[in-house]
Structure 1
């Protein structure tokens, strides 16, 4: 019994570590407002190996990684940070989404 418990704990720990983030970034799309306080998520912009590739669009932000910047009525409020982000993003011109 103890071996089963230990094995399941190790398996769940390895899944959390391999994911790199506890946020389901595939669902982060739509109208995005950038804020300095009280964000839904804190995000770090990187140049490689992001959790989410983001394409800034003017119309139809309807799939993973497509963000339309708005000032009112956002789907998500995002704060850009340098340390301790919830997840990382990379801005791209094509093929947004999860790697």
Structure 2
């Protein structure tokens, strides 16, 4: 029975929880104003150099497109916590062409 679980776990591990159709994670749009927190995040992210779930561009204003994030200290659209393992979403920071493939 354990042998059957490995292919299923491998398949599930390869699936991204980020929806490319609406640029969201569990109903949270991955654009807009973001606040970085140490606890009680909406999303746990891990920075990666390759194979991201989403490419993010940090902007100073008008974070209206998928993958555009504006860092704020209050009134965020969503809160994130940076982790080094077991992230909800893997993020690659880019200077251009943000979004989900």
TM-score, normalisation: structure 1: 0.78
Q: Distance in 1 between matches of 2:19 and 2:77?
A: 15
Q: Distance in 2 between matches of 1:18 and 1:71?
A: 33
Report which of the two structures shows the higher radius of gyration computed on alpha carbons. Answer: 1
Provide Cα deviations, 1:9-54, integer angstroms capped at 9, x if missing partner: x8xxx6x555332x43713110000000000000000001100000
Report the counterpart of residue 71 of structure 1 in structure 2. 73
Q: Distance in 1 between matches of 2:14 and 2:86?
A: 17
Two-structure CA RMSD over aligned residues (Å):
1.9
Once superposed, which parts of structure 1, at least 4 consecutive aligned residues long, lie more than 4 Å away?
none
> 5+ unaligned residues in a row in structure 2: which ranges?
1-7, 24-28
Instruction: Please identify which structure carries the higher strand content.
Output: 2
Report the counterpart of residue 19 of structure 2 in structure 1. 24
> 5+ unaligned residues in a row in structure 1: which ranges?
1-9
Pair 1:53-2:55 in alignment:
yes
Report the counterpart of residue 5 of structure 1 in structure 2. none
Q: Distance in 2 between matches of 1:28 and 1:78?
A: 11
Q: Distance in 1 between matches of 2:86 and 2:66?
A: 22
Instruction: Please identify which structure carries the higher helix content.
Output: 1
Pair 1:93-2:81 in alignment:
no
